[in-house]
Structure 1
Amino acid sequence: MAEEEVILEATGLTKEFKGFVAVKNVDLRVRRHTIHALIGPNGAGKTTCFNLLTHFLSPTSGRIHFNGRDITGSSPAAIARMGLVRSFQISAVFPHLSVRENVRVALQRKLRNSFYFWRSERVLDRLDERALELVEAVGLTPFAELPAVELPYGRKRALEIATTLALDPEMMLLDEPMAGLGQEDIQRIASLIRTVSRNRTVLMVEHNMSVVADLSNAITVLARGEVLAEGPYETVSKNPLVVEAYVGTGHG
């Protein structure tokens, strides 16, 4: 694998909580313009791993490189500005603003100037135009003027992806994007993830194996905080250690 193909690399990533090792010596390499899934039974360390990559948690040891740059110790906000954005970290935090207004607020964040709230209508109109493009991109045009709190659950996920896209990330981290969704919403969000991944990289934690099989170019399997296997779905799903890890926990 050529170095320039790797956008995110973690080496020896370890996190201990008062003697309990949640993530142990994890090496992870995510190639540019791929969808990479992080899977494993409950308690495998997937969410802890995500929190380490975006520095919501600091690693006990190990290093993280993004675009060849050592980002270990950087703040979550600084990492987001570099282009590595965790979705649902930038959630629709204004339930009583409309879908369009939520996306516009995210666009204002991208400008890193809170005083845009006081700028002329002309400037805000320009942001509105881009906001409506993003609303359309995630299939929410019919809901554009609806308060976010009134959106159906699956559509809220689409709005969260739109607010993340407003920050123009080079790489998106999606934490269980299908959690709690019905079949129709799962298909819609899976299609949306496939679309947004065309010109960016996606790393996702996901429990839904049919989604993982359908979307992922590569999969890393964690168990008890360690990497159990890595590779394409066809290979990983037949790995005896992976089968045992899932069967042994009663988690499919």
Structure 2
Amino acid sequence: MDQDIILETRALSKEFRGFVAVRDVNLQVKRGAIHALIGPNGAGKTTVFNLLTKFHVPTRGQIIFNGQDITAEKPAQTARRGVVRSFQISAVFAQMTVLENVKVALQRKLGVDYHFWQSTASLRSLDEPAMALLEEVGLAAFAHHLAADLPYGRKRTLEIATTLALDPEMLLLDEPTQGMGHEDVDRVKDLIKKVSASRTILMVEHNMKVVADITDTITVLQRGEVLAEGPYAQVSVNPAVRTAYMGTEDA
């Protein structure tokens, strides 16, 4: 396997009771790249994410990460390899502070459970790395706010922070800017670009401006199959892609 390729799928397919959601998808994600997976609703993007992170078992095909076949692994095994994902719906502990949310994730990375009955003092060793991470994502000023009180865009930023706390080698972002206003979209876009300096990012994203501005490679799915692949400048002028998807967007 090419050392520049961190993740590869070979003829990856998934059927649900006869319905083919993903058919023979061959992906090659380069190490250190921002790679976008796009396509119309129902194209199979989230199913591919679920296959990569083992929420679904492939009907056939292979998933190779860092040269190792991880197709048969359980979700926790794949996560321990450094493949970590976010979700379309924000997944944070609403009644914990922003700082506490990051500390929970840091404890998971250390391989210990979060002990809710422990004194605050016993967890203070995590304050410094947690604050450093909040500084990195621009949430330091919100450290002692309840997650429930954050504006939507900041809440999604907190979710990215908690995934970063797990120190992923590869970060899978599922619709990171969904439902955001322009200001929040720009903030998250800049954050994704910033954190990509030391890790690989594969993301599902509908906002074509975000895709155009920060991605290195785009894979377009249609009806569960790869329709086109390449840099934005190439994919955006592909007639088949424009007909299937991008012609309906402000690109």
Is TM > 0.5 for Structure 1 vs Structure 2?
Answer: yes
What secondary structure sits across from 1:242 in the alignment? helix
Per the alignment, residue 136 of structure 2 pairs with: 137
CA distance in 2, matches of 1:147, 1:212: 31
CA distance in 2, matches of 1:192, 1:178: 11
Per the alignment, residue 199 of structure 1 pairs with: 198
Q: CA deviation at 1:192?
A: 0.3
Give 5+ residue unaligned stretches, structure 2: none
CA distance in 1, matches of 2:47, 2:91: 23
Q: CA deviation at 1:125?
A: 1.7
The Cα offsets for residues 165-207 of structure 1, whole Å up to 9 and x where unpaired, read as 1000000000000100000000000000000000100000000
Q: CA deviation at 1:93?
A: 3.4
Per the alignment, residue 240 of structure 2 pairs with: 241
Per the alignment, residue 175 of structure 1 pairs with: 174
Per the alignment, residue 21 of structure 1 pairs with: 20
| Contact 2:53–2:85 (8 Å) recurs in 1 | yes
| Contact 2:11–2:23 (8 Å) recurs in 1 | yes
Q: 1:79 to 1:152 in 2, by over 3 A?
A: same
Alignment length, in residue pairs?
250
Q: CA deviation at 1:158?
A: 0.6
Say whether 1:164 aligns with 2:163. yes
Per the alignment, residue 73 of structure 1 pairs with: 72
Per the alignment, residue 51 of structure 1 pairs with: 50
> Could you tell me which amino acid in structure 1 is paired with residue 68 of structure 2?
R
Q: CA deviation at 1:58?
A: 0.7
Q: 1:174 to 1:90 in 2, by over 3 A?
A: same
Per the alignment, residue 102 of structure 2 pairs with: 103
CA distance in 1, matches of 2:170, 2:114: 27
What secondary structure sits across from 2:233 in the alignment? helix
CA distance in 1, matches of 2:28, 2:114: 39
Per the alignment, residue 153 of structure 1 pairs with: 152
Say whether 1:218 aligns with 2:208. no
> Could you tell me which amino acid in structure 1 is paired with residue 79 of structure 2?
A
CA distance in 2, matches of 1:166, 1:247: 34
Per the alignment, residue 8 of structure 1 pairs with: 7
Say whether 1:82 aligns with 2:54. no
> Could you tell me which amino acid in structure 2 is paired with residue 129 of structure 1?
E
Q: CA deviation at 1:86?
A: 0.5
> Could you tell me which amino acid in structure 1 is paired with residue 46 of structure 2?
T
Q: CA deviation at 1:21?
A: 0.5
The Cα offsets for residues 36-63 of structure 1, whole Å up to 9 and x where unpaired, read as 0000111111111111111111110000
Give 5+ residue unaligned stretches, structure 1: none
> Could you tell me which amino acid in structure 2 is paired with residue 38 of structure 1?
L
| Contact 2:108–2:114 (8 Å) recurs in 1 | no
CA RMSD of aligned residues (A): 1.9
Q: CA deviation at 1:119?
A: 6.5
Q: Percent identity?
A: 63
> Could you tell me which amino acid in structure 2 is paired with residue 205 of structure 1?
V
CA distance in 1, matches of 2:47, 2:154: 27
CA distance in 2, matches of 1:37, 1:247: 14
